[in-house]
Copies of this chain bind each other. A is one copy, B any other.
Amino acid sequence: MNCFHSIVIDKKIEKPLYQQLAEGLCHMIEQGILPANSKLPPIRRMASKLHINTVTVVTAYKYLEQKKVVYSLVGSGTYVSPLPIEQIEKPLVLEQTKKFEKQSSIENAINFVDTSMPQHLFPVEEFKEAFDTVLSREKGRAFEYLDSMGYMPLRQILCQYLQEYGIYASAENIQIISGAQQGIDIISKALVNYGDTIFTEKPTFYGACGAFLSRGGNVITVSMEQDGINMSELENLLKVYHPKFLYIMAYFQTPTGISYSIEKKRKLLELAEKYHFYIIEDDNLYDFYYGAERIVPLKALDYKNKVIYIKSFSKILMPGLRMGFMLLPKKLLESVQSAKYTTDISTSGFLQKGVEYYLRKYGWQYHSSIMRKYGGEQYRMAVSAVKKHLEGKITFLLPEGGISLWLKLPPKVEAEKLCTMLVKEKVIVAPSSQYYMGQKEQESIRVCFCNVKQRDLEQGIKKIGSAIDKILENAP
């Protein structure tokens, strides 16, 4: 409570007192002194501390609420908003992208930001056969316009594969998309209007936020815990805001690698029903589990049709295909179809027919088991290298699968500074700021191990350790 003494209220200057108080509070929020979802002092207490009228405090709180800097829970008090919208703006997304692109182009660097699988594993010969067959079979038809929802035989075969995930779907509810990012974009178009609220995990994938912000959406982030999103924080926010949807990754989350417990998955679906919002389950890594048991997708538990399931083929097949699909609640079919039409009319029919041939002939497991085996080897090497070279320097939660590790840095090490140092050593790592959209954060780095050569993996992680040491040596 003492920290509020830093707010200077000067009764002699012209600026209204409530505004001086509001600005003081804003400053404290920006500085991170008042963290997201922390409670502001009760009105009387604040008034007496600062020797001002209670009306002044009420006015200041109301003003900040209008500005969405704080929110109030009836009968409980006033809390700091998870995200003052002014802080997250469009250019940020581009900036992040550019940083990535610039860094990724450094030659011969050890690249821990690349999220794609190595190309020598791609099923190129099989796809060559698939495209040849489609062109011989269909001729010009292969290049005709196709239904916006997608090629029906492809949608049908995808339903078969979804059964292996425990998801029982009808082909009518499947929308083919040009990659998961397009799915996120189309859902945003169908559901988000200017000023609508969207919830995401914190930290999260900046590309998704970019699509939400581009619609004029008000993005509010909810902290992650070891077993998924913070449920009490989420429910408190749901009492105030009415989000159109919550965007999550239920397993091997980007960037933390966290997977949701079954309890949290069930609770999420309950909340979605109670508070009338959808959940977007963004799945690009489901098949990359390295433990004995498979996880249950959120969609498999979705008896009330609250989950929009987005599946990317980028990891399971190849990123350059630019393809994936969505499984939609029936209610959303019309608006999604309309959004897809105005987005790009339809995904290339030629590519869809190629993928359909491939899946029908080779099956889903054929390639995904190769990818999982490779991913698992990389994972074990990365984990053992981290344990060997970063023990005592960083802390991390062992993920059950996926393509990356999320390493928490010691208090005196700033992630951005560390990453800049590492670039000079030709090691590229993503700092946590890229996933926090400009908010105050726990300083961490994301280490993607999926496209790093085995001989470079340990070497790269060792260099991360040396760089941390160097920063700590020079720390005051």
Question: Which A residues are closer than 8 A to B by beta carbons?
Answer: 90-91, 93-94, 97, 101, 116, 118-122, 124, 127-128, 131-132, 135-136, 139-148, 178-179, 181-182, 185, 189, 193-195, 207, 210-211, 214, 216, 318-322, 334-335, 337-339, 341-351
Q: Of B93, B185, B195, B344, which one neighbours A181 at CB under 8 angstroms?
A: B344
Q: Chain B residues near A147 (CB, 8 Å)?
A: 101
B179 touches A320 (CB 8 A): no
Chain B residue with the shortest CB-CB distance to A125: B135
Nearest CB of chain B from residue A311's CB, rounded to whole Å: 15
B94 touches A338 (CB 8 A): yes
A97 touches B341 (CB 8 A): yes
Q: Chain B residues near A179 (CB, 8 Å)?
A: 344-345
State the number of copies, please: 2
A-B contact pairs, 15 of them (CB 8 A): A93-B338, A116-B144, A124-B135, A128-B131, A132-B132, A143-B320, A145-B319, A178-B348, A182-B344, A185-B342, A193-B216, A216-B216, A322-B348, A348-B351, A350-B351
Q: Chain B residues near A207 (CB, 8 Å)?
A: 341-342, 345
Q: Chain B residues near A93 (CB, 8 Å)?
A: 338, 341-342
Q: Of B119, B144, B182, which one neighbours A319 at CB under 8 angstroms?
A: B144
A334 touches B94 (CB 8 A): yes
A350 touches B320 (CB 8 A): yes
A348 touches B348 (CB 8 A): yes
Chain B residue with the shortest CB-CB distance to A314: B145
B146 touches A320 (CB 8 A): yes
Evaluate whether A124 and B145 lie within 8 angstroms (CB atoms) in the complex, with A344-B322, A350-B320 already known: no
Alpha-carbon separation in the docked complex, A338 to B207 (Å) = 10
Evaluate whether A343 and B181 lie within 8 angstroms (CB atoms) in the complex, with A94-B337, A348-B322 already known: yes
Q: Chain B residues near A185 (CB, 8 Å)?
A: 342-344
Alpha-carbon separation in the docked complex, A462 to B321 (Å) = 46
A321 touches B143 (CB 8 A): yes
B334 touches A347 (CB 8 A): no
B341 touches A322 (CB 8 A): no
Nearest CB of chain B from residue A342's CB, rounded to whole Å: 4
A120 touches B97 (CB 8 A): no
A214 touches B131 (CB 8 A): no
Evaluate whether A141 and B119 lie within 8 angstroms (CB atoms) in the complex, with A93-B338, A344-B178 already known: yes
Q: Chain B residues near A178 (CB, 8 Å)?
A: 178, 344, 347-348
Q: Chain B residues near A210 (CB, 8 Å)?
A: 338, 341-342
Alpha-carbon separation in the docked complex, A189 to B343 (Å) = 11
Alpha-carbon separation in the docked complex, A118 to B139 (Å) = 12
Q: Chain B residues near A145 (CB, 8 Å)?
A: 116, 319-320
Nearest CB of chain B from residue A153's CB, rounded to whole Å: 15
Alpha-carbon separation in the docked complex, A118 to B144 (Å) = 9
Nearest CB of chain B from residue A337's CB, rounded to whole Å: 7
Q: Of B127, B135, B342, which one neighbours A135 at CB under 8 angstroms?
A: B127
Q: Of B94, B97, B189, B318, which one neighbours A143 at CB under 8 angstroms?
A: B318
Q: Chain B residues near A148 (CB, 8 Å)?
A: 97
Evaluate whether A181 and B318 lie within 8 angstroms (CB atoms) in the complex, with A119-B139, A120-B140, A140-B124 already known: no
Chain B residue with the shortest CB-CB distance to A337: B94
A194 touches B216 (CB 8 A): yes
Nearest CB of chain B from residue A128's CB, rounded to whole Å: 5
Chain B residue with the shortest CB-CB distance to A206: B342
Q: Chain B residues near A181 (CB, 8 Å)?
A: 341-345
Q: Of B91, B94, B124, B320, which one neighbours A349 at CB under 8 angstroms?
A: B320
Q: Chain B residues near A337 (CB, 8 Å)?
A: 94, 97
A119 touches B144 (CB 8 A): yes
Q: Chain B residues near A351 (CB, 8 Å)?
A: 348, 350-351
Nearest CB of chain B from residue A175's CB, rounded to whole Å: 14
Alpha-carbon separation in the docked complex, A132 to B144 (Å) = 20
Q: Of B124, B140, B193, B216, which one neighbours A122 at CB under 8 angstroms?
A: B140
Q: Chain B residues near A348 (CB, 8 Å)?
A: 178, 320-322, 348, 351
A319 touches B143 (CB 8 A): yes
Chain B residue with the shortest CB-CB distance to A210: B342
Q: Chain B residues near A189 (CB, 8 Å)?
A: 214
Alpha-carbon separation in the docked complex, A192 to B14 (Å) = 39
Given A128-B135, A322-B344, 5 more contacts at CB 8 Å?
Answer: A94-B337, A101-B147, A144-B319, A179-B345, A194-B195
